[in-house]
Amino acid sequence: MKIALLTHRHSFKCAVIGSALAARGVQPDVIVCEQPPRTPAGARLRQLILERGPQALADKLFSKLGTRREERTAEPGHSGQRLDAASYAAQHAIPLVDLPDLASSASLDRLRAEAIDLIIHAGAGILRAPLLALPRLGVLNAHMGVLPLYRGMNVAEWAAWEHGPLGATLHWIDPGIDTGRIISTVPVARQGMRDVATLRHAVDQAQTAALADLVARMVASGEPPAATPQRREDGRQYFTMHPLIIEALEQRLAQSA
Amino acid sequence: MLAALKTAARDALDCRPWVAGHGAYLLHQVSGRGSIDEAGAHDDAAMRAAARWLAAAQDSQNDGGFSGRYKLARGWSSSYPETTGYIIPTLLKLADLWDEPEWHDRAARAIDFLLELQLPDGAFPGGEVLENRTRPSPFNSAQILHGLTHWARSTGDTRAQTAAARCAAWLMSVQDEDGAFRRHFYLDVAATYSAHLSCWLAEYGEAFGDSAAMASAERHLDWVLAQQDRATGWFDLAGFTDDQHSGRTAYTHTIAYTVAGVLTSSLILKREDGIAAAHQASEGIMRRLELSRWLPGVLDWRWREVEHPQCLTGNAQMALIWFALTRHNGDWRFANAGFKALDLVKHAQLRDNVNPGLAGGIGGSDPVWGSYIPKALPNWAAKYFIDALIEKRALLQAAGAPP
């Protein structure tokens, strides 16, 4: 079974999933990187001036020159702690496919040529239908919330805020936002969640372990797992949690711990 | 290119950058605003500055009314009865919140101004006082009814209660058989944003036991609900103009009037279908804000951007609707969107300026030369901003968070 991790160059998630797979004797065959999403330069410039005024332009130019020198000296100290996708691929001798995007016909042709059986979503952006149709088995995702209830962003936090079920879900990706067929749900206990970081870490660990276990089973059996379709109306989409609600959640968690 | 430069130069001259404070205000439209205050550190200062701006709007007139807007081209406009009416509940809230009688006194002056203006048939005139004192407007009358109801309930002032009763009776007298309001509207065309008319009839009816007013509000609610697109939640006829009606677009200001009217009426009348309709529209607009990280000033029937500049009062009005939904059903996704919409309004506010017509005021659009109330700061934007900040504080307190 040919397995690809789909990520972007600066994502650390690829290394986390890769390591969990390696611990179960599975090595991805290829790492596919898309260019990280980037706001157009004109829009970034407008935002900078809007927030900080024209002086910010000069400040940014000068600081950029300084930062480049600092980054060069700082890099070695960080490299051993968290690996980005390219470093992880190099360290484990996994072929790396760099793509400018995941939607153009050139990118799709390049991926098609790889004849991938299973893609694991490991930090890439939103995927469109043509890409989802490429791998023989599909594109697998680990989601930090219990589906179908909690779709979208910051769902671990939202579930904690709403006193809903905490957990992670393994599912096949379809063109909707977290609406694909559900393979399994892994509950996470509420006890000991003293802050948001602990909460996120616990759910993240649960989803990574469950994902790696599933892939190991698939490699061993050569078969895709059973999955249950979701009904759109059974859940709702959540968006980035506002800092004031996060702050309130931090207080609740601290009080309940 | 040359034409664009000419337009830009004309726009800049229109804004009179040589008048005290105008230059700094115009610069603030494009530069040096600082980062968005998500932590709410400046909420109190922002509310205080907006309240001082409202006070300046009242003090700029000698009749007790609130100037409709500060125009960069011409300064303060004359008193605007409609919005003076619905500013009254805001002033009463500020008096309570800050325990400062000044705001109560300002509301009393506003009431005296309005009582002088009421027409013999119970209606109130539309527009600002310099342009009209005789032609009645159902929509504007209803916003004044809202102010009279709150004042009468708060103070027991029988003059206000009598005026409210006459106003409500007139509103019911101009309602059509099918529940719509057409008479005295522009070209006699009904609009669904008049949901923000009938909701004050419902409020008045509930406050003073007037079942006819409640029934009238319910008939209108039925008519508005029949205009909803069930697929997207959009309410047809929610715009200001024929072009907006036919293109199925509207400013967030009138969209919010429509949704707020439907929600307020439905909560009073206990109409679950109306609450569901408001919920559906609110969810579509929330999705637009979240995906765009911005609320475009004009939206279409699929809640897509038609005009990019924000309609700032629309942001604040939507925040109030989202907060009300969170209170009603405990769904904090709505409050989440409300906080973000208000952060964007706060980011557009210039709190300190030598000109009292600009300091703390809220522009019609962001940037201020957008098409909604262009190059001016309307008093209703400040009013809704204050209302929304007060409700934000209350919601966070109820959730056990720091104010």
Number of H helices, E strands in chain B: 15, 8
Confidence class for position A218, pLDDT limits 50, 70, 90: very high
Structure tokens at A229: 């379709």
CB within 8 Å: A53 and B337? no
**Whether residue B32 has pLDDT greater than 90:** no
The C-alpha atoms of residue A228 and residue A232 are separated, in whole angstroms, by: 13
pLDDT of residue B38: 95
Q: Determine contact, residues A175/A129, Cβ cutoff 8 Å.
A: yes
* Residue of B333, B347, B350, B389 to mutate, testing the A interface (most A Cβ within 10 Å of its Cβ): B333
> What chain A residue is nearest to B30 in terms of C-alpha separation?
A50
Please give the share of chain B, as a percent, with pLDDT higher than 70: 99
> What chain A residue is nearest to B284 in terms of C-alpha separation?
A237
pLDDT of residue A41: 84
Q: Determine contact, residues A153/A132, Cβ cutoff 8 Å.
A: no
Q: In this predicted model, what pLDDT tens digit does every residue of B39-59 receive, in sequence order?
A: 999 999 999 999 999 999 999
**Whether residue A80 has pLDDT greater than 60:** no
Query: How many alpha carbons fall within 13 Å on the CB side of residue B62?
Result: 0
Residues 6+ apart with CB under 8 A from B305: B288, B292, B296, B298, B299
Q: Determine contact, residues B296/B305, Cβ cutoff 8 Å.
A: yes
Structure tokens at A201: 């870490």
CB within 8 Å: A53 and B32? yes
Q: Determine contact, residues B57/B379, Cβ cutoff 8 Å.
A: yes
Q: In this predicted model, what pLDDT tens digit does every residue of B57-116 receive, in sequence order?
A: 999 999 999 999 999 999 999 999 999 999 999 999 999 999 999 999 999 999 999 999
The C-alpha atoms of residue B39 and residue B30 are separated, in whole angstroms, by: 23
The C-alpha atoms of residue B389 and residue B385 are separated, in whole angstroms, by: 6
Provide the pairing of β-strand A30-34 with A96-99: parallel
pLDDT of residue B141: 98
pLDDT of residue A79: 41
The C-alpha atoms of residue A86 and residue A95 are separated, in whole angstroms, by: 10
- Classify residue B270 as exposed, middle or buried by CB count within 10 Å of its CB (0-12, 13-18, 19+): exposed
Confidence class for position A67, pLDDT limits 50, 70, 90: low
The C-alpha atoms of residue B392 and residue B9 are separated, in whole angstroms, by: 40
The whole-angstrom distance between A238's CA and the closest CA on chain B is 7
Euclidean distance between the first and final Cα of chain A, in Å? 44
CA-angle at B39, arms to B34 and B44, nearest 5°: 85
CB nearest B396 (choices: A51, A161, A244): A244
Token look-up 């029949």 returns B226
Instruction: Report the pLDDT averaged over residues B326-344.
Output: 98
Looking at per-residue pLDDT, the higher value among B353 and A60 belongs to B353
The C-alpha atoms of residue A29 and residue A7 are separated, in whole angstroms, by: 14
Instruction: Report the pLDDT averaged over residues A166-191.
Output: 97
The C-alpha atoms of residue B307 and residue B276 are separated, in whole angstroms, by: 27
Confidence class for position B340, pLDDT limits 50, 70, 90: very high
Q: In this predicted model, what pLDDT tens digit does every residue of B278-294 receive, in sequence order?
A: 999 999 999 999 999 99
Least confident segment among B22-26, B30-34, B274-278: B30-34
What DSSP element (H or E) covers A151?
Answer: strand A150-152
Per CB-CB distance under 8 Å, the chain B contacts of A252 are 400
Structure tokens at A53: 């005024």
Q: What are phi and psi of B331, to 5 degrees?
A: -85, 105
**Whether residue A74 has pLDDT greater than 60:** no
Per CB-CB distance under 8 Å, the chain B contacts of A52 are 32, 34
> Which residues in A have their CB inside 8 Å of a CB on B?
49-54, 158, 161-162, 236-245, 247-248, 251-252
CB within 8 Å: B34 and A161? no
Please give the share of chain A, as a percent, with pLDDT higher than 70: 93
Per CB-CB distance under 8 Å, the chain B contacts of A238 are 333
CA-angle at B248, arms to B239 and B85, nearest 5°: 15
Structure tokens at B197: 């008319």
Instruction: Report the pLDDT averaged over residues A4-10.
Output: 92
The neighbouring-strand residues paired with A50 are: none
The whole-angstrom distance between A136's CA and the closest CA on chain B is 32
Per CB-CB distance under 8 Å, the chain B contacts of A161 are 332
Residue A228 burial (CB count, 10 A): 11
pLDDT of residue B188: 82
Alpha helices (H) in B226-292, listed in sequence order: 242-247, 252-269, 272-292
Confidence class for position A81, pLDDT limits 50, 70, 90: low
Least confident segment among A51-65, A89-103, A231-245: A51-65
Q: In this predicted model, what pLDDT tens digit does every residue of B152-166 receive, in sequence order?
A: 999 999 999 999 999
The whole-angstrom distance between B354's CA and the closest CA on chain A is 20
CB within 8 Å: A50 and B401? no
**Whether residue A56 has pLDDT greater than 80:** no
The C-alpha atoms of residue B255 and residue B29 are separated, in whole angstroms, by: 25
**Whether residue A39 has pLDDT greater than 70:** yes
Hey, where are the domains in chain A?
3-256
Per CB-CB distance under 8 Å, the chain B contacts of A248 are 396, 399-401
**Whether residue A121 has pLDDT greater than 80:** yes
Instruction: Report the pLDDT averaged over residues A24-47.
Output: 87
**Whether residue A77 has pLDDT greater than 60:** no
Provide the pairing of β-strand A3-8 with A118-121: parallel
pLDDT of residue B129: 97
Token look-up 């905490």 returns A166
Q: In this predicted model, what pLDDT tens digit does every residue of A199-213 receive, in sequence order?
A: 999 999 999 999 999
pLDDT of residue B401: 55
Mean pLDDT of chain B: 96
CB within 8 Å: A52 and B400? no
CATH code for residues A3-256: 3.40.50.170
CB nearest B400 (choices: A49, A54, A251): A251
* Residue of A45, A158, A162, A239 to mutate, testing the B interface (most B Cβ within 10 Å of its Cβ): A239
| Residues belonging to chain A | 257
pLDDT of residue A68: 54
The neighbouring-strand residues paired with B136 are: B125
The whole-angstrom distance between A137's CA and the closest CA on chain B is 30
pLDDT of residue A50: 83
Looking at per-residue pLDDT, the higher value among A72 and B386 belongs to B386
CB within 8 Å: A248 and B399? yes
Does this model's pTM top 0.80? My answer is yes
Structure tokens at A207: 């989803």
Structure tokens at B81: 């009865």
The neighbouring-strand residues paired with A120 are: A5, A140
The whole-angstrom distance between A12's CA and the closest CA on chain B is 25
Q: In this predicted model, what pLDDT tens digit does every residue of B240-279 receive, in sequence order?
A: 999 999 999 999 999 999 999 999 999 999 999 999 999 9
Q: What is the CA radius of gyration of chain B?
A: 20
pLDDT of residue B18: 96
Provide the pairing of β-strand B365-366 with B310-311: antiparallel
The C-alpha atoms of residue B60 and residue B157 are separated, in whole angstroms, by: 26
CB within 8 Å: A238 and B333? yes
Token look-up 């701006």 returns B53
